[in-house]
Structure 1
Amino acid sequence: MFANSVDTSSGVTTRVLGIDPGLTRCGFAVIDGWGPGSATAVSMGVIRTPKTDPLPQRLGALRTEFAALIAEFKPKAVAVEQVFFQVNVRTAMSVGQASGLALAEAALAGCEVIQYTPNQVKDAVAGWGGAGKEQVQKMVQVRLKLTTLPRPADAADAAALALCHLAMSPIGRSLRQAASS
């Protein structure tokens, strides 16, 4: 987990939970944003489920973790990576199952729920939809003013999703307008 204090004196704050879905490794990041280019990491990590556990137990564990994250951090929005393309059908199915749980849990909690494709996230965070993992990690580090690259990559991807939402959503636009007023 990662924690950081937030100075919200510069304007309106919104909290976004980013989810990089996966059955074995599911990245999450809670980001507070309060103006143009102003965001702070509140918590980042990875939810892991053992490959040896039966599928229903793994899905149950993910659901419990999603509910706990939402209850603890009370995000206004939950941004989930959209399953856009997978070569491996088995991987696509497990990512889709994890994604569905995150979407449902967020909706049940009354959060705004949005999905972004990997290219949308890379474009919003790194300025290019074809950016590599290391470029995205570096830009997440810079934008969140972290002293080291966020690791593992699943947590960095979740942070990138939250940053993407802050940049692209109506919430992001209103934050930018409030800060410039």
Structure 2
Amino acid sequence: MTRILGIDPGSQRTGVGIIDIDDAGRTRHVHHVPLVLLGAEDFARRLKLLAQGLNALIEEYRPDEVAIEQVFMGKSAISALKLGQARGAAICAVVMQDLPVHEYAAKEIKLAVVGKGGADKVQVQHMVGVMLNLQGKLQADAADALAVAITHAHVRATARRLGVDTRQAWSRK
């Protein structure tokens, strides 16, 4: 059994999702939550809350691997920069715990979970709920984090079957 922590980084809310995957490739939901960072006095303290929240979850759930969504360039350079800083804080938090980090683009995650790279958030939320047999509506950031973890679980299982590492299994080159 391998435990995967999925992270959907954000400067206001960071989604966190944890799943277990067995040797046959079956996934099981463990935990999900949005880490709400808006209560902090300033942006630097948001990053501190993010790192502390991830550290607490790592201590409690003891993941074996981490998967995180890559930053995409949106309309606002300032928003992209803040997202990148939040992503960096998240990566630092998990690397400081000596956990391996795997990165996936939003289109790759949507393709793996929904079957098309241009899927919308509602489709991702629905498929994550179906795949993990969860009831009720999922919070968007936590659903995205679970989707990142599911993507890594799928890529990891494929890589294992092919006898290659995860980057080679996902690469189209």
Task: Report the TM-score when normalising by structure 2.
Answer: 0.87
The residue type paired with residue 156 of structure 1 is A
Give the RMSD, CA atoms, in angstroms: 2.0
Q: Aligned ranges for residues 102-181 of structure 1 at < 5 Å?
A: 102-150=90-138, 152-169=139-156, 173-174=159-160
Give the match's secondary structure for 1:45.
strand
Partner residue, 2:168: none
Residue 134 of structure 1 and its aligned partner are, at CA, apart by 1.0
Question: Take 2:27 and 2:136, find their aligned partners in 1: how far apart are those partners?
Answer: 16
The whole-number CA distance in structure 2 between the counterparts of 1:89 and 1:51 is 23
Work out the percentage of aligned pairs sharing the same amino acid: 37
- Residues 1-181 of structure 1 aligned to structure 2 (within 5 Å): 13-36=1-24, 38-50=26-38, 53-150=41-138, 152-169=139-156, 173-174=159-160
Q: Kindly state the Cα deviation for residue 173 of structure 1 after the two structures are TM-superposed.
A: 3.9
Distance 1:35 1:66, change over 3 A: same
Q: Which segments of 5 or more consecutive residues in structure 1 lack a partner in the other structure?
A: 1-12
Check conservation: 1:22, 1:98, Cα contact below 8 A: yes
- The 4+ residue runs of structure 1 with deviation greater than 3 A are 171-177
Question: Residue 37 of structure 1: CA displacement?
Answer: 5.5
- CA offsets, 1:61-84, max 9 Å, x none? 111111111111111111111002
Please give the alpha-carbon distance, in whole angstroms, between the structure 1 residues aligned to 2:100 and 2:131: 23
CA distance in 2 between counterparts of 1:121 and 1:52 reads 30
CA distance in 1, matches of 2:41, 2:67: 27
CA contact (8 A) 2:107 2:117 kept: yes
1: CA distance, partners of 2:2 / 2:99: 12
Residue 167 of structure 1 aligns with an amino acid whose one-letter code is: H
SS in 2 for 1:127: coil
2: CA distance between counterparts of 1:37 and 1:139?
17
Residues 145 and 175 from structure 1, CA distance in 2 versus in 1: closer, same or farther, beyond 3 angstroms?
A: farther
